[in-house]
A and B are shown apart, each in its own frame.
Chain A
Amino acid sequence: MITLSNVSKSFRTSKGTVHAIQDVSLEVKLGEIFGVIGYSGAGKSTLIRCVNLLEAPTSGSVVIQGKEVTNLPAEELMQVRRKIGMIFQGFNLLKTATVYDNIAIPLRLTDVDKNEIDGRVTKYLRIVGLEDKHDAYPSQLSGGQKQRVAIARALAQEPELLLSDEATSALDPETTESILELLLKINAELGITIMLITHEMNVIQKICDRVAVMENGRVIELGKTVDIYAQAKHPTTRRFVNSTYHKELPPSLLQELKETGPVVRLSFVGGSTSKPVLAQVSALFPVSPNILAGGIIQLKQEKIGTLVVHLNGDPEETKKAIAYLEDQGVKVEGVEVGDE
């Protein structure tokens, strides 16, 4: 669907050149939800804006559905953009237009058949669940409702691809949840490929098939969401993954427990039951595992079970126990004071 090859973008500013993205190559496959995560300033917005050429890459190529789109003449670029929907953190609706007009005006301006417009507006307002808000103005809507209007506006163009620049970042957790569900539905039922960027791991966790992690303008890790959860390599990626776990233990308790053995987080892909392995540990080694906390993280496709366990025993033996657990395919990670 989208192939970025060695895309770089620099901005010349009065303070010198900013390399916003550097040599990024990635592919977004037809029908998937692809996430890009990174901290503020990592270059995510610049990257997604290079896809629809709101920002022209300094170098590299952007291919959308087999078509190279950098260096297209203005008229052709416009036609390409009409097949790519985009939603934003700030919704970007016309304040002076009703919900209905917010969706209808772009249709009128993109040469959609007049007789078709009313049907489209109604259809997509129903899909986003705002069929009773035709005549409301954006100022009368909540943030979540505004984003739904923006989504309906994007969908009404009947795009094959939807780009989302932090679409849930201005919303509270519950509203975020409902917008994410809407995006899942759009992806599943309308077959629209989605590329989204975010700084929130729970967005990746809930809806992304694959994810790229960005830092300082580069992609530092890329893979299936489940693999990133199970075996994140880069420290930044691990911080993002850890951010989805609850802060379970008071630091004072952790400090105290560490005197009698390490505290570790065990992750099991697929939520496979953990008890046999832990029972084995206590049978095989003079170590008594003590479960402190546990939970299941629901990814888009799979589940990941996690347990925080205190391994009570002497250092030599707990080390062996950890090696054994890893042998059994369990991901083991030390829990430190001050971890997120």
Chain B
Amino acid sequence: MSEIQQFIEGRLPIIGESVVQTLQMVSVSLAISVLIGLPLGILLILTRPGNALENRIVYQVLNVFVNIVRSIPFIILLFFILPFTKLIVGTSIGIKGAIVPLIVHAAPSIARLMENALVEVDSGVIEAYRSMGIRTRHIIWHVMLREARPTIILGLTIAVINLVGATAMAGLVGAGGLGDLAYRFGHLRYEVDVMYVTVFILILMVQCLQSIGNKLAAKYKKD
């Protein structure tokens, strides 16, 4: 009994702090990644052959760029872009220093998942809206994004879960978070109970995210 009490008193604040750090990193980098990835995805769609802004060069450049960034493992990316990170946020450590690589890691994936979701939208509907004299930007917003919503939500769910995983490595640049906690206590100090609790929280987090994603997607899916 007292052992548990001792554990709660001794370790709970650190665990709580780590949860907050993880959530901070995930939410901020997700928000910014969507802000970058969404327009990028739309640009990928529009510049595809046969679409409104068809442009082979722009499409190919974007396409290759997205592929390259996506093929670099996060742990390598983290160090590889250190100078860039420093340039953008003035530091390469702490939460700030972790968020930049997290975004560079997530945004291209989000662009790709947006592209994949949007390309699945029935081209007949887009054509019907074109035939009604509706502007391309309205078609993007009111037809493509609307119809792709369930797929986008499911894709974003996977992206968030990946981000949770990536933040675990962000401890390497001193950003803290649950992954870092598990590593420090579990591996370096052999305090396995902290590690178990951390792992349990991570599992819980991922489960919650997945079921929120599923629920939201189902809500928007009408067929």
Which A residues lie at the B interface, using CB under 8 A? 52, 54, 77-82, 84-86, 88, 90-97, 105-106, 109-110, 137-139, 150, 153-154, 157, 163
The distance from the CB of B153 to the nearest CB of chain A, in whole angstroms, is 12
Which range holds the interface residue count of chain B? 20 to 34
The distance from the CB of A75 to the nearest CB of chain B, in whole angstroms, is 9
How many interface contacts (CB-CB < 8 Å) are there between A and B? 74
The answer to whether A95 touches B132 (Cβ under 8 A) is no
Q: Which of B146, B149, B221 has the most CB of A within 10 A?
A: B146
The answer to whether A96 touches B134 (Cβ under 8 A) is no
B222: Cβ under 8 A from any A Cβ: yes
**Of the candidates A86, A94, A105, which one forms a contact with B131 in the assembled complex, judged by CB atoms under 8 Å apart?**
A86
The answer to whether A78 touches B133 (Cβ under 8 A) is yes
Which B residues lie at the A interface, using CB under 8 A? 122, 124-125, 127-135, 138, 142-143, 146-147, 149-150, 220-223
Closest to A137 in B: B222
Q: Complex Cα distance A139/B222, Å?
A: 7
The answer to whether A93 touches B125 (Cβ under 8 A) is yes
The answer to whether A94 touches B138 (Cβ under 8 A) is no
Question: Given contacts A54-B130, A92-B125, A96-B222, is CB(A109)–CB(B138) below 8 Å?
Answer: yes
Residues of B within 8 A of A86 (CB): 128, 131-132
The answer to whether A97 touches B146 (Cβ under 8 A) is yes
Closest to B148 in A: A96
Question: Given contacts A95-B147, A96-B221, A138-B223, is CB(A81)–CB(B131) below 8 Å?
Answer: yes
The answer to whether A94 touches B127 (Cβ under 8 A) is no
Closest to B134 in A: A109
**Of the candidates A78, A79, A137, A150, which one forms a contact with B223 in the assembled complex, judged by CB atoms under 8 Å apart?**
A137
Q: Would you list the 10 A-B pairs with minimal beta carbon distance, nearest first? A: A81-B133, A92-B128, A82-B133, A78-B133, A139-B223, A92-B124, A86-B131, A137-B222, A95-B223, A90-B124
The answer to whether A157 touches B132 (Cβ under 8 A) is yes
Residues of B within 8 A of A77 (CB): 133
The distance from the CB of B136 to the nearest CB of chain A, in whole angstroms, is 9
Q: Complex Cα distance A300/B59, Å?
A: 51
The answer to whether B147 touches A110 (Cβ under 8 A) is no
Closest to B136 in A: A74
The answer to whether A96 touches B124 (Cβ under 8 A) is no
